[in-house]
Structure 1
Amino acid sequence: MIRFSSAPEHAEQPPIPKHLWKVAALSGMASYLDAALIVSIAVNLAIYRDHYDMGVWMAGAISAIVTGCIAVGSLVGGRLADMFGRRRVYNLDILCYAIGAVVITLAPNDIVLFVGVLIAGLAAGADLPTSLAVVSDAAPPDGRARLVSFTQVMWVAGIVVVIFLGYVLSDTGMVGARIITGHLIVAALVTFLLRARLELAEPSEAAQQEEAAALAAPRGIELKNVWNRAALLPMAATFVYYVTWGIGANTFGQFGTYLLVTVSGASQSLATGINLAFLPIALVLTFVFVRIADTPWRDRLFYVFTVVQVVAFCIASLTAGALVGMLVFFVLYQISNPFAGEASYKVWSQLTLPPDTRGTTQGLTYALSRGVFAGVAFVTPALMDYSASLLLWLITLCMAASGVAGVYVIHVLIRRSPETAVAPAPGLGVART
């Protein structure tokens, strides 16, 4: 078997054309809008609770619904993209997201808010596997990991922007909440217009056949192609990694501020400020990950930082959410997350999943994972109220399990992945603009 990262360690990486970075940025907006939607609901949750007179279980339901809708959207959207063309789904789902964001922003009551979350969540979910498949289709083999991992920069940027707006607007109540979700409308519409102008060229049949042969995967987009060893093994392994890691990441993404306020005793402004202060660390280090994503250092650093990440959660658990312990946690978590987090999942998925069903298979792993996150989100406020220490230790165990799954992916699946993959699968190549 040939290891993907078999190039000399000090060999200079070939430059990636500018038009491919444009594709990566526009596709990365799926990650930006996904993260921004989840975090905006989290930041605004206390405001929604007071404004719409919600109880603790209703607050959990709102968080569960947004995550659950992203799960369903990922499942359906990835499959539709493989069946009817990634370009078509790529453009339509971002427009549907904008419609959902409008409904959330203008919602006069909690019922309308639910409808907006439903629409935006489904659209965000549909765009995630589709956009990653588009990037992977367009990318050259020696630049695929860098381009795919750049979408994670956009994901972190979505969190940073929303947390920053939440901090600045923390004393403005529902007006600030509407401004935060209103920026999602603008971002989605601008992305829709730019994607519509993006020139994407259909790949040749010969190129598709060459890539399918190189990956020893069946050609075509029949659903049966998902249920074979070539697809099931990497799909199961990346799912286990993502779901165990994501339980911790999603919980802190949705309830980090809530935990700091209700458990650590911080004010709303201080809690939002703590999140904002440490996020730039993650943003800068995610750029570092992009630089090394096509080198052996990508997976070597995973070993180091998955340990750091588990230590971070151990500290949070041992201190039972005390403010000092949480400050140490946030520093270590933001340092480790870029190298042992969702970026690794995205890259590993594109390197190990068969190209002809990338949208479907990654849509499945996204959907199943987000479904689990939705269930966890629903019970988190109640569990946090019962025992914050128990909640934190359960998350720590999940993080340790994700490290084990990641080691398996690196040692088994990445070693089996081919060194080169040639052309895009049934969606699209990219024409130079």
Structure 2
Amino acid sequence: MSNYLEAGSIVAGAAGLTLWVQYLGLTDTTVGLLGALSANGFGAAVGALISGFLVDRYGRKFIYKYNLLVYMFGILLITCSVNFPMLLIGYIITGISVGAGIPPSWTYIAEEAPKNERAARVGWGQFAWSMGPAVVLLLSVALAPLGLLGSRIIFFQLFLVAFFTWLFQRKIDESSIWEEQKKKEKATNQDGIFNKENLKELFTNRANLRAITLLVGVYAFWNMVAGVMGYFMPYIYETVGGLTSAQANLLQAFLWILTVLSTYFVFIKFGDKVNRKMIFSVGAGMGIVAWIILSFGGMGTFELLAFVILWGLAAGFGAQAFYGLWSAELFHTKYRAAAQGFLFCTARVLVGLISLIIPIMITTLGFQAAGAVMIGLLIIHMIVGLVLAPETRGKSLEEIQAERYGTQEDPSLIKKEAVK
């Protein structure tokens, strides 16, 4: 549900962007500012960085006691906004909450998953992430006749869902792997991620540097493209492609429905059974072809449908799904969430920076120039993934940890994981 709410809030802003532009008389600069400081950019970056350290220190479930309260406050501000400062503050608060929910969500799912089902369990998180935009965009089409009121209603439904989700999240059990790690730290008088040596190790250990290079190269570069799409795509369909708001949202909803389907039928079904580098490379290649068609083929009916089908299917088993999996697998338990917070922060800062310039780039240089930049970013992410992607199928987190760091893990923990 965290994933549903996080993605839903990003796309809710995108779906109603042209309505807010008309209502508040926003410029390219203020539109870029909303995208840069929201859940799609710097807001989420700050939230993820802070949350990652807190989650490693106080537990995976710690953040769930408070985070959605912050989310609900931000969503309520957006729902009731009557001027740009109010809207911007709501976006920033919601963005911080969205970022804060990422490290505990991906970490908890992976740590509690059986070793032969870890990709599938992470895939269900990706499934929920894709459902959020699909539901929001379909609601946008249904409520289009209401204009801006429809956008306010969509944000308010996120508020209601967040409230009931908060009630349930408070009841989850703590991660057993994290509890075992805390027992070890207590027995050896260590202090987890807040230990200077551990913090230094996170950024100097050879295994960690390789993992950071992989995840920044794969996820951050892909996410700059996905971030632009998640927030600006309906806006691009309308301003560049000449579609109506309802048509743009319906097209984007179709894209996300395809992502939901491919997440289930490819990543969930085969992520634990088939070579993951092969799955990743197919998705990456499809994404590059999709953007070539959109950027240089024009925005006719055929080009738009080809783009939506290729990108929609590829996104279900693409960089974000593998980021959720690899970022949990490739780091030690003592700083697993902090590493995720740092990586997600890096990705969102880059999305924030590109969000500041994309509306201006499209206006001044044209969409083809912006599309060429997107294609270049996707090529980089594909090359990094093909070179550095690990093969970790069928291994427990403890076994992966022992291999990567050369440490002897407690055999009872490995046995316990195998039983699970």
1:207: Cα distance to partner? 6.6
Alpha-carbon deviations, 1:155-207, whole Å to 9, x = none? 10011011111111122122111101101111111111001122336558767
CA distance in structure 2 between the aligned counterparts of 1:313 and 1:170, rounded to whole angstroms: 28
2:85 aligned with 1:108: no
Corresponding position of 1:200: 174
Corresponding position of 1:310: 288
Corresponding position of 2:311: 333
Q: What is the letter of the counterpart of residue 392 of structure 1?
A: G
Alignment map for 1:344-383 (pairs within 5 Å): 344-383=322-361
Alignment map for 1:273-422 (pairs within 5 Å): 273-288=250-265, 289-386=267-364, 387-410=366-389, 413-414=390-391, 419-422=395-398
CA distance in structure 2 between the aligned counterparts of 1:159 and 1:118, rounded to whole angstroms: 19
2:16 aligned with 1:58: no
SS for the counterpart of 2:25 is coil
CA distance in structure 2 between the aligned counterparts of 1:200 and 1:246, rounded to whole angstroms: 30
CA distance in structure 2 between the aligned counterparts of 1:272 and 1:203, rounded to whole angstroms: 42
Moved more, 187-196 or 315-324: 315-324
1:250: Cα distance to partner? 1.3
1:324: Cα distance to partner? 3.3
The structure 1 residue matched to 2:246, chosen from 266, 269, 291, is 269
CA distance in structure 1 between the aligned counterparts of 2:138 and 2:255, rounded to whole angstroms: 11
CA distance in structure 2 between the aligned counterparts of 1:32 and 1:424, rounded to whole angstroms: 29
1:117: Cα distance to partner? 1.2
Q: What is the letter of the counterpart of residue 35 of structure 1?
A: A
8 Å contact kept, 1:225–1:357: no
Q: What is the letter of the counterpart of residue 233 of structure 1?
A: R
8 Å contact kept, 1:298–1:339: no
Higher relative contact order (CA 8 A, sep 6+): 1
Structure 2 runs not aligned, ≥5 long: 402-415
Paired positions, count: 390
2:219 aligned with 1:245: no
Q: What is the letter of the counterpart of residue 296 of structure 1?
A: V
Question: Identity of counterpart residues, as a percentage?
Answer: 25
1:38: Cα distance to partner? 1.1
8 Å contact kept, 2:4–2:129: yes
8 Å contact kept, 1:260–1:323: no
**Structure 1 residues 313 and 102, CA gap change in structure 2 (3 angstroms):** same
8 Å contact kept, 2:259–2:313: yes
Moved more, 394-403 or 218-227: 218-227
Corresponding position of 1:225: 201
2:110 aligned with 1:132: no
8 Å contact kept, 1:42–1:254: yes
CA distance in structure 2 between the aligned counterparts of 1:166 and 1:383, rounded to whole angstroms: 27
Alpha-carbon deviations, 1:306-343, whole Å to 9, x = none? 21221111111222444432221111111222122311
CA distance in structure 1 between the aligned counterparts of 2:183 and 2:324, rounded to whole angstroms: 24
2:26 aligned with 1:49: no
Structure 1 runs not aligned, ≥5 long: 1-28, 212-217
SS for the counterpart of 1:353 is coil
**Structure 1 residues 207 and 55, CA gap change in structure 2 (3 angstroms):** closer
SS for the counterpart of 1:414 is coil
Alpha-carbon deviations, 1:196-247, whole Å to 9, x = none? 1223365587677899xxxxxx993232331222322202211111111112
Q: What is the letter of the counterpart of residue 404 of structure 1?
A: I
2:140 aligned with 1:161: no
Corresponding position of 1:16: none
Alignment map for 1:65-104 (pairs within 5 Å): 65-66=37-38, 67-104=41-78
Moved more, 105-114 or 198-207: 198-207
CA distance in structure 1 between the aligned counterparts of 2:329 and 2:12, rounded to whole angstroms: 32
1:96: Cα distance to partner? 1.2
**Structure 1 residues 236 and 407, CA gap change in structure 2 (3 angstroms):** same
**Structure 1 residues 206 and 260, CA gap change in structure 2 (3 angstroms):** closer
8 Å contact kept, 2:255–2:311: no
8 Å contact kept, 1:64–1:374: yes
8 Å contact kept, 1:130–1:359: yes
CA distance in structure 2 between the aligned counterparts of 1:203 and 1:326, rounded to whole angstroms: 46
SS for the counterpart of 2:192 is coil
**Structure 1 residues 219 and 139, CA gap change in structure 2 (3 angstroms):** farther
1:392: Cα distance to partner? 0.6
SS for the counterpart of 1:200 is coil
Q: What is the letter of the counterpart of residue 23 of structure 2?
A: H
Alpha-carbon deviations, 1:43-83, whole Å to 9, x = none? 11111112222222111111111021001111111111112
CA distance in structure 2 between the aligned counterparts of 1:394 and 1:414, rounded to whole angstroms: 30
Q: What is the letter of the counterpart of residue 320 of structure 2?
A: E
Q: TM-score, normalised by structure 2?
A: 0.86
SS for the counterpart of 2:66 is helix
1:125: Cα distance to partner? 0.2
CA distance in structure 2 between the aligned counterparts of 1:263 and 1:192, rounded to whole angstroms: 40
Corresponding position of 2:162: 188
The structure 2 residue matched to 1:151, chosen from 125, 129, 133, is 125
SS for the counterpart of 2:241 is coil
Q: TM-score, normalised by structure 1?
A: 0.84
What value does the CA root-mean-square deviation take over the aligned residues?
2.6
